[in-house]
Amino acid sequence: MRSLHIIRVMAVTLKEAYKILGVSQENTDREIKARYKELLIMYHPDSDPTGKRESKDDEMIRRVIEAYRKIRESEGEPVHDTYEFTWDAFENRAAFSERNIFFQFRIYDEALPPSKMARGRFVWDPDMEEFSMFTKSVLEACKDVMTDHDIILTPEKVKNIFHLMMQEYVLPADAARKLGKKVSEDEDKEVYLFYGFIKEEPLAGRGVSKQINNEPLNLFLRDDRAVAEEMVSGKVLGSVSFDEDELYYIVLPLLEDPAVNAHAVITRVENSQRNKRRMHVEIELTIPKNLVDTPVSNARIIKEWIGRV
């Protein structure tokens, strides 16, 4: 990609800087940086999918960089004058394949075709990449791998290789810290809140109290699913599902980590067809502050799937 060298423009005030980025002093450093990156992607010349670019876009990108510089310098953090557009997410060099990074621009309410921004073994950064664009890139990488190896694209192979590749591009603890709602912390750990629901299994209701709001639950993995059981009676209520698909790649791996403690509670119960119940749950994950994700490599397993007839 082209490098964009920025000439210093008239300095902005700190108040103007916050206004340009659309943030305030109430925003965290992570939120300000995410907004800065979002605007850089939006106005960068390499990101224009229509091939039409206005001179005001060049001025806007200068103002965005100057505003971010002003905010960082006010916090004692210098920013270099020269900016080169790169995708600076962490790379899992042990991942089986590279993938494309896509970004979707909008003109008013109309979504333009996704634009390719970069390519590499980049892990998914929720601050920079929409989950739908992330899954699109992994699915395309999966199909490219199978095509390169002359493998017939059967649904089973695509599904299995896709999930294996997704695991290589997700750092669960890092993503949990960015997407979860922090409810408490101390010197050693942080607690993040996530939401899910349980569709009661057919036999689970037998012997289970009808008044189960605020019922504490144990969570454990079974057949790659998060299963909930009553803490007191030990009755299995069913598998936990999530409204946000990305949580399957975040919460489930963390349930396997012995350093992470998981607690859940039923917050609301809805009756559905055939006397089944849909139980809404809050899940608290206690994550040590010193917990660092270890990038996953599924190359051996992927090769085994590629080799299957």
Tell me the mean pLDDT per 10 residues along the chain, length 309.
40 86 86 81 62 64 83 72 62 95 69 79 91 95 88 86 96 96 95 91 50 78 88 87 94 95 90 75 96 95 80
Q: Does 209 reside within a domain?
A: yes
Given 74, 90, 108, the domain boundary residue is 74
Q: Does 90 reside within a domain?
A: no
Q: Does 84 reside within a domain?
A: no
* Distance, CA of 127 to CA of 41 (rounded, Å): 12
Contact (Cβ atoms closer than 8 angstroms) between residue 87 and residue 119: no
Residues 191 and 274 in one domain: yes
**Residue 67's domain spans which residues?**
14-74
Q: Does 64 reside within a domain?
A: yes
Domain of 59, CATH number, reads 1.10.287.110
Phi, psi of 246, deg, nearest 5: -60, -25
Residues 266 and 301 in one domain: no
Q: What's this model's pTM, rounded to 2 decimal places?
A: 0.74
Residues 217 and 282 in one domain: yes
Number of independent structural domains in the chain: 3
Q: Which residue has the tokens 């992330």?
A: 134
Residues 35 and 124 in one domain: no
Given 74, 89, 116, the domain boundary residue is 74
Contact (Cβ atoms closer than 8 angstroms) between residue 223 and residue 238: no
* Distance, CA of 262 to CA of 284 (rounded, Å): 6
Q: Does 30 reside within a domain?
A: yes
Task: Read off the pLDDT of residues 136-191 as tens digits, 9 standing for 90 and up.
Answer: 999 999 999 988 888 787 888 899 999 999 999 999 999 999 999 999 999 999 99
Task: Read off the pLDDT of residues 59-94 as tens digits, 9 standing for 90 and up.
Answer: 787 788 888 888 888 877 655 544 445 677 899 999
Residues 260 and 232 in one domain: yes
Q: Does 237 reside within a domain?
A: yes
